[in-house]
Structures are given as structure tokens and as C-alpha cells.
Structure 1
Amino acid sequence: MIFLIANDPFFCSMTFRASYVSPCIPVVLSISEGIVLWTLIEYSLHRWVFHMEPSGKSKLMIYFHFAIHGLHHKVPFDSRRLVFPPFPAAIITFTIYKLTSLFFCDSTHLLVIAGGLLGYVVYDMIHFYLHHGAPDENSYFYHLKRYHNQHHFAHHNSGFGISSVFWDKIFGTALHLRKLAKSIKW
């Protein structure tokens, strides 16, 4: 929605000081777009980059795959393997910065990036909590922890969402967790 508004010449020439436009609405919408964009990036990276099938002939690709995600699956409870490394994160952030600057006028893309970075930080905290936390059985995080554990230990080719299962449902990779007779105590 902001994409359409932000590329409108009238909108780009408006200032937030105009009495009929609240500065909060475009800011909140742009940051929200960044958060939603991050969830799509999270899902896409996890599904198509982290779970790619490296060619058996390329030792470099096998090493790359193992370094970026294979090791995390090998030792999922190693707290040093949960946060995305800073250098690749910087490359992704720079790429997103360049892409958003093509589609958004003025500094709107900075707000989208801020939302994306906020989404990334929340994702990292959720991912750490899913591996090391003990959520209450009636919480959203209890469901996410069961979901993520199924991805790690039973269904490596589905259940790619970490902070949300939304994109798994959209792309048909959602896991269906069976109802347990007794809840798991983490």
C-alpha cells in the first residue's frame, strides 16, 4: 500500500507538516511493511538458501551450506549457532537498502529498512527462545517451539517459518502438529 502511495508524485511532494496528514500513519505503515518484508525474507532465506541441496561435485558449496545452516541443524542447541552472522546480515541489509531506495521516494525506504531490522532482531530473539526457552503450554511460543522442533528433528523440508507460520501456509510448506494427550514440559 505504501509502495503505491510512495511512488505517487503528489505524495512525494507532500510534507508531513500538512494539517490534513498525520505523520504517524505513513511512519507506522512503512515500519510495518518492513516487518512483513522481513518475515518473507526470513522464510525465503531459510527455505531456498539455507535448505538448498548443494551439488555433490562442489566442495565449496557443500562447505558454504554447512557453514550457513547445516551446522545449526547438526547441533541445534548450541547457543553460538542461532544468530545470523553479522557479515552476511550486512550484505543482506545493504541489498535491501539498495532495492528499497529504487521503489520508495524520499526517506520512506529507511523506515521500511528500520521495520525490517526490527523484524530481524525480533526473529533472532524468538529463534533463541525457541531453542532455549520454556514457553507456557497455552502460549503462541509453545506452538512455535513444537513447530520448529518438528522442522529440526522430523521434517527438514517443511516448516521454514520461525517467527511466524504465515508464509509456510501461503507456500504450502506448513507442518500439521498433532494434538498431544499431555503437553510437553520444556
Structure 2
Amino acid sequence: MNKTQEFRRSGLTLSEAARLFMSYPNAKMLLPVTTTAIAARLALGRFTKRDTATLATTLAIEPFVEWLIHVNVLHLGPRTFRGKSYELPSSKKHRLHHKDPRNPEILFIPALPPTLLGLAAANWAILRNPRHTLTGMATSFTLLTAYEWTHFLIHSAYTPKSTLYKKLRRTHQLHHFRNENYWYGIITPISDKVLGTYPAKEEVPPSPTVKTLGV
């Protein structure tokens, strides 16, 4: 049985899903990078109110950053310039993910190393302090890992047990199988609820472009 078949196998357990998740390059990179960032921050010590503020702010903005990227980057269609069509690689891969949502090979964040470097650079540019920057990096990397794991689990054959996970799985399935213009959140529905993209299923008609994103 190959990894895709295992991913789709009825009766997949949480521990089996975790082992499968760890066989993919993004997970192999994220776990040690995130662990290292957390360990480095703990080693520096001297936690202050600014560390608490950095942690709280990162947690607060993450759902909205996720929402903005999902809407404005991942769902961005091809653009024409001087008669030629151009499309961001991340947008193209996400469109393929909508076309084949149970394919684990195309559901991970593309270009992970530049993403991690970008998060590190953004934290340094804003905080300008090694300890606070590491606090921001550790939090950002942890949330990114949570995003990848949750997204992986949602699309797998694993049957949800907790109420929160059942809700996240259901709304993400609505995004993929009912209407791609709603239910953008992965690890929390907060941004959808605040920004008006969390309607009841019955309030939204099925979209004919849910698989193609209009392309």
C-alpha cells in the first residue's frame, strides 16, 4: 500500500496519520526547525512582558494572515500580461489541490524554506531583539506546523473525535465541495466569523467552480 492509499484508507488512526504525516518533506523540516526555535528561546531565558505581547499578537493575527493568504494568493487566478498568461506556482498548486483534495502529495505548503525564512525576517524586522525575535519565530513556526498537520488530517481518512476538529473538518469540506468562496480557515474559524465568510451551509448555493476556482 502506497502513501496515498494509506492516507485514504478507512479506519486510519491518529497515530497512523501522524506517522504518515512525518514521512513528508514539510513535516520532516517543520518539526526540527520548530523544536530548535523553541529550545533556543528557552535557552536565552529572561521572558518579559514584550515576549508575552509578541506571543499574544502572533496568535491573534495568525487566523487573519491565513485568511488573507488563502483569499488573495492561493485563490488568485492566472493574469495576462502582453498576451501571455502567468500564474503563481502556489496558486496553481492550490487549484490542483481543489481538483484533487484527497491527494496528499499536493496539499502541503509549497516552497517551505522561503516561507520559514520570510517569517524569521519579518519577526526580526518588527522586533529587532534576539530574544523577542525568537519568541515570535517559535510561535510562528508552531502555528505553521499546526496548520500543516491540521490540513493534512482534515483531508485524510481519519474520523474526527473532538467537537472542534469535527467542526473544522466539516467547514473545510464545505469549502472544497460546496463553495470555495467561504470557510477559508484551517486551524480556527475565527477569521471567517469576523470577516463574514462563515455562513450556514443552507445560506450558500453550491458553486460550479468549486473544483476549478474559476480557471
Q: When the two structures are aligned, how many residues end up with a matched partner?
A: 154
Unaligned runs of at least 5 residues, structure 2? 1-44, 203-215
Whether the aligned pair in 1 keeps the contact of 2:73 and 2:90 (CA below 8 Å) is no
Deviation at 1:112, TM superposition (A): 0.8
* Counterpart Cα distance in 2 of 1:143 and 1:43: 17
* Counterpart Cα distance in 1 of 2:121 and 2:88: 29
Matched, 1:60 2:86: yes
- What amino acid does structure 1 have at the position aligned with 2:153? Y
Identity %: 21
Change (3 A) 1:58 1:70: farther
* Counterpart Cα distance in 1 of 2:138 and 2:90: 29
Whether the aligned pair in 1 keeps the contact of 2:182 and 2:197 (CA below 8 Å) is yes
Whether the aligned pair in 2 keeps the contact of 1:42 and 1:161 (CA below 8 Å) is yes
Matched, 1:39 2:63: yes
- Alpha-carbon RMSD: 2.5
**Alignment partner for residue 123 of structure 2, among 93, 100, 113?**
100
Change (3 A) 1:24 1:160: same
Query: Structure 2 length normalisation: TM-score?
Result: 0.62
Deviation at 1:28, TM superposition (A): 4.8
SS at match of 1:59: strand
Matched, 1:135 2:188: no
Structure of greater Rg: 1
Change (3 A) 1:72 1:25: same
Counterpart in the other structure of 1:82: 107
* Counterpart Cα distance in 2 of 1:123 and 1:48: 18
Unaligned runs of at least 5 residues, structure 1? 1-14, 17-22, 179-186
SS at match of 1:156: coil
* Counterpart Cα distance in 2 of 1:106 and 1:43: 28
Change (3 A) 1:50 1:28: same
Change (3 A) 1:77 1:104: same
SS at match of 2:77: coil
Counterpart in the other structure of 1:181: none
Counterpart in the other structure of 1:163: 187
